[in-house]
Amino acid sequence: MTVRVGVIGVGTIGEDHLRRLTQVVAGAEVVAVTDVDLDRARAAAAKYDVATVHLTGQELISDPEVDAVAVCSWGPTHEEYVLASIAAGKPVFCEKPLAETPEACERMIEAEVSAGRRLVQVGFMRRYDRAYRALKDVVDAGSIGAPLIVHCVHRNPTVPGYFQSESLITDAAVHEFDILRWLLGEEITTTSVLVPKRNRHGGDLQDPVMLILEMDSGAIVDVEISMNIRYGYDIQGTVVGEDGTAALGDQDAVVVRLAGGTTSPVAADWRERFSRAYDVEFQEWIDAIAGSGVPAGPTTWDGYAAAVVANTALEALRTGTRTSVKLVEKPALYDQ
Ligand code: NAD
Ligand code: ISE
């Protein structure tokens, strides 16, 4: 079975996912695209040979030719499109963050619970990354003992123009919030945010920030978010256990020793670092839809939990205090 996909938003990541769905992923066909910038949508449709350009996202979602929807537009637009997809009974992949507020995520949970089945998958692609999967295998095997401390580094060379100080938490650190819950299999319970001296490349932006997170088990996590570090895009993670440590390796890195020095490459951006993770993410999404019809990846609940942690960390940033994460009761739908 070929899954006929409609893509909403063909900006930086939307066009990359459009390419992926048309040229890399098996079993998918992109039959429609839209973007609030219609010229961009028309150009993307021409480039990737997509039959239909819709004037709006709502029109695309109700198109009977569209079996499943990929939402790749800006964060504040996600809620409207995810709710419409659930109402239409269509599986929907939504880029992170699922929504800007926990309340918006709760409305999606309510809609899905009323529909009685899971339709939403959130674009937390790190769960599909080879190095993160290998790290989780080590943690789950128990050989390093119980995790006590996790060190995370999330560095970007430059920052998108629309970024504000809050975005370091809601747009960047939201990946750590999800991957830590997945990696350790437990919830984040408190957040604190430290505000170091600012990077001179960041202007008024509070960049970097350091987050301290406490996990349900008592493990403690530190997360560095840097958005203007220039040298490259660098994601690091080390789990310190009772008997040993496990760290993400550099993927495909060749180390060159030459002329009195040692060099190994650093990715230019997230597209390069996670390119294969995005491929696997979409292949598994399409396979699940074509198979059981139920997406197997990060759920609406996962998007909600990450949004609550982000909101809690924003409060910690504003108040300078350690703040507690409060989740609503998890519906049984998300235990399946
Ligand atoms: P972008 O600005 O490059 O592209 C966004 C596109 O959405 C633009 O073409 C814009 O015209 C379009 N758009 C805006 N409002 C719309 C609407 N109401 N309906 C239809 N189209 C609309 O942004 P981007 O970097 O591609 O980010 C898009 C989303 O993807 C964001 O949620 C972002 O957080 C997420 N993202 C995820 C990753 C990841 O690693 N998973 C990486 C980058 C971006
Ligand atoms: C971007 O939106 C992403 O999602 C990237 O994965 C992340 O590393 C980057 O910091 C964000 O701006």
Using CA positions, which residue lies closest to atom 5 of ligand 2? Answer: 270
- C-beta 35 within 6 A of ligand 1: yes
**Ligand 1 centroid distance, CA of 38 (Å):** 14
- C-beta 139 within 6 A of ligand 1: no
**Ligand 1 centroid distance, CA of 269 (Å):** 16
Among 270, 273, 274, 281, the mutation site with the greatest number of ligand 2 atoms within 8 A of its Cβ is: 270
Res 187: pLDDT: 98
Atom of ligand 2 at shortest range from CA of 125: 6
| Count of positions (residues) in the chain | 336
For residues 6 and 60, the answer to whether their CB atoms sit within 8 Å is yes
Residue 106's nearest CA partner among 300, 295, 298, 309 is: 300
Q: Which residues of 222-247 are buried (b: 16+ CB within 10 A; e: fewer)?
A: ebbbbbbbeeebbbebebbbeeebbe
Res 294: pLDDT: 96
**Ligand 2 centroid distance, CA of 168 (Å):** 9
Q: What is the DSSP string of 135-184?
A: HHHHHHHTTT-S--EEEEEEE-SS--TT--TTHIIIIIIHHHHHHHHHHH
0.95 exceeded by pTM: yes
**Ligand 1 centroid distance, CA of 76 (Å):** 10
Q: How far is CA 79 from CA 207, 304, 311, in A?
A: 28, 12, 17
Residue 58: count other Cβ atoms within 10 Å of its Cβ: 15
Res 14: pLDDT: 98
Atom of ligand 1 at shortest range from CA of 270: 40
Atom of ligand 2 at shortest range from CA of 160: 12
Tell me what ipTM this predicted complex has.
0.99
Which one of the ligands is nearest to 70 CA?
1
Which one of the ligands is nearest to 43 CA?
1
**Local structure of 67: helix, strand or coil:** coil
Beta strands in 156-284 (DSSP E): 188-194, 209-215, 220-226, 234-240, 245-247, 256-258, 261-263
Res 336: pLDDT: 74
Using CA positions, which residue lies closest to atom 9 of ligand 2? Answer: 172
CATH class of 3-125+276-298: alpha beta
The single-letter DSSP state of residue 94 is E
Atom of ligand 1 at shortest range from CA of 34: 20
Q: 33: which 2 tokens?
A: 């695209």
- State whether CATH 3.40.50.720 applies to domain 127-269+310-324: no
Parse the chain into domains and list their residue ranges: 3-125+276-298, 127-269+310-324
pLDDT of the chain, 336 residues: tens digit per residue: 899 999 999 999 999 999 999 999 999 999 999 999 999 999 999 999 999 999 999 999 999 999 999 999 999 999 999 999 999 999 999 999 999 999 999 999 999 999 999 999 999 999 999 999 999 999 999 999 999 999 999 999 999 888 999 999 999 999 999 999 999 999 999 999 999 999 999 999 999 999 999 999 999 999 999 999 999 999 999 999 999 999 999 777 899 999 999 999 999 999 999 999 999 999 999 999 999 999 999 999 999 999 999 999 999 999 999 999 999 999 999 997
Q: Please state, in angstroms and rounded to a whole number, the distance separating the CA atoms of residues 46 and 53.
A: 10
Using CA positions, which residue lies closest to atom 2 of ligand 2? Answer: 171
**Ligand 1 centroid distance, CA of 240 (Å):** 35
Res 143: pLDDT: 97
Q: ω into residue 91 within 30 of 0, thus cis? A: no
Res 250: pLDDT: 77
Within 6 A (CB) of ligand 2 lie 156, 171-172, 175, 270
